Amino acid sequence: MNVNIKQIISLISYGNQYLIKNQVPNLTQTVISNNSEKLTISFLEKNWGLNKVIATTPINWFEYLKQKGCLKLQLLHSHKEAKKYTDVSLTGGGKGWYIKANFSKGFEIWNNKWIHDTDPGRSYIKSTKVEYLKLKGEKISQECISLQKATRELHKCLIKIKNLAHDWQLNRWENVFTKTIKILESNSNQVINNEFNTYLKNLVILENYPPESIQLLVTANRLFIFTGWYSWNELDWWVAQSKFLNDKYFLIYKSLSETLYKARNTAIVSSINHDKLKNNL
């Protein structure tokens, strides 16, 4: 899971702690901490065509939302991105994610933009600004399905794609999918908590989520395998060039890959939006 998605998820989890439990969360060890000079986060809204800064820290933004009467934050992902899973700009699956701020009457959609200050003549980044902007008139179609349904759909897809890797003798990928399936099928809280603490520690406030949500989240985290070097997408070239494979198999591969990408993102949305907090909606 890349830092963009992690940051959005953390804003939702820690923001709901503030909005619903009336507790100021400790952000020190999180990806939304503003303690680093190399990363700053700000929140803006359009005012007469110009972007106006309304908060310069996550806590300030939570306060701003609470004063406006925000009931709860939720995660959204645009399904239209599913067919673009091979796009280089989607490295790590970082595009198409939004924050939905719910109010008693209506909602707001927030999206972000990363701005890097690169040292001239060098390749390293000196500092990064992340700007969250309230969108106007944006409609994101996203059904938040139940944890059970999201789990079933992801499991079904994983079995099919693992079998495909087995049939094509892709041992490394078969091993990746087999390990992921074991996490999704595990009945051990220790296994799930170890996975969370190893890869996603402090991403969300753990006590606010049922075990099923965390299990689905850590499983989905294992499936950031699209785009980049040695990714699952590199099989596009291999499948296309393999003389012993016909168009039928190529279409199966493409279809399963798109389905897995969509199922993974749906699982993340379901896991984050099904928490144990009081439902104010």
What pLDDT is stored for residue 139 in this prediction?
Answer: 67
Measured between alpha carbons, how far is 210 from 205 in angstroms, rounded to an integer? 11
What pLDDT is stored for residue 278 in this prediction?
Answer: 77
For residue 25, is pLDDT > 60?
yes
What is the DSSP-derived secondary structure letter of residue 124? S
| 3-state SS, residue 218 | helix
**Beta carbons of 79 and 140 less than 8 angstroms apart:** no
What lies within 8 Å, CB to CB, of 6 at 6+ separation is 31, 200, 203
Measured between alpha carbons, how far is 183 from 198 in angstroms, rounded to an integer? 14
In this predicted model, which residue has the larger pLDDT, 144 or 42? 42
CA 211, distance to chain mean position in Å, is 18
Report the share of the chain in percent with pLDDT over 90. Answer: 53
Give the torsion sign (CA, 67, 70, 71, 73): negative
Mean pLDDT over 213-228 rounds to 91
In this predicted model, which residue has the larger pLDDT, 88 or 275? 275
Per-residue buried b or exposed e for 41-61, using 16+ beta carbons within 10 Å of the residue's own CB: bbbbbeeeeeeeebbebbbbb
What pLDDT is stored for residue 68 in this prediction?
Answer: 95
Per-residue buried b or exposed e for 1-39, using 16+ beta carbons within 10 Å of the residue's own CB: beebbbbbbbbbbbbbbbbbeeeebebeebbbbeeeeeb
**Beta carbons of 100 and 75 less than 8 angstroms apart:** yes
Mean pLDDT over 161-182 rounds to 93
Q: Tell me, yes or no, if the pTM score tops 0.75.
A: yes
CA dist 35 → 38, 40, 273 (Å): 9, 8, 27
What pLDDT is stored for residue 155 in this prediction?
Answer: 98
In this predicted model, which residue has the larger pLDDT, 116 or 244? 116
Q: Per residue in 90-113, pLDDT tens? A: 454 557 899 999 999 889 999 988
What pLDDT is stored for residue 125 in this prediction?
Answer: 63
Mean pLDDT of the chain: 85
Beta-bridge partner residues of 122 = none
Measured between alpha carbons, how far is 58 from 99 in angstroms, rounded to an integer? 13
Q: Per residue in 43-92, pLDDT tens? A: 998 877 788 899 999 999 999 999 999 999 999 988 766 556 655 444 54
Mean pLDDT over 200-207 rounds to 95
For residue 140, is pLDDT > 80?
no
